[in-house]
Amino acid sequence: MIELSVLLLVLATGWFWLDSLRARDFALDGARRACDAEGVQLLDWTVAMKKIRFGRDDEGRRGLQRTYEFEFSDTGNNRIGGSITVIGRQMLALNLPVIAAPSSNVIRLH
């Protein structure tokens, strides 16, 4: 009985690890596409898990909802934080903060 319990634990751990890798890759691809669409640079080409919990997708199925954080830059000299929330291979939310456009009414002093 102990052997069966250990085997089930190993299988569950392996499934969780593979599922986490797939979800991270999906989130990274979503962050990259969003940054490309907005004309900003995804920094470090990585996402970091912020939160994991149970949630429901758009069809009402339960699954592991993961929220990842990433950083991007609009000028190359700054870091702005964004986040993406996924369940499996479905994006639930994407947060790219609004970037203020530079003002054209700048007074220059000589």
Kindly state whether residue 109 falls inside one of the protein's structural domains: no
Q: Which long-range contacts (CB under 8 A, 24 or more apart) does 33-36 make?
A: 34/82, 34/84, 34/94, 34/96, 35/72, 35/96
Kindly state whether residue 101 falls inside one of the protein's structural domains: no
Q: Residue 101 — pLDDT band, cuts 50, 70, 90?
A: low
Query: Can you list the alpha helix ranges (DSSP code H) found in 1-110?
Result: 2-38
Query: Could you tell me the residue range of the domain that residue 67 belongs to?
Result: 2-95
Kindly state whether residue 54 falls inside one of the protein's structural domains: yes
Kindly state whether residue 60 falls inside one of the protein's structural domains: yes
Residues making up the chain, counted from first to last? 110
Share of the chain above pLDDT 70, in %: 88
Kindly state whether residue 61 falls inside one of the protein's structural domains: yes
Q: Residue 107 — pLDDT band, cuts 50, 70, 90?
A: very low
Tally of domains within the chain:
1
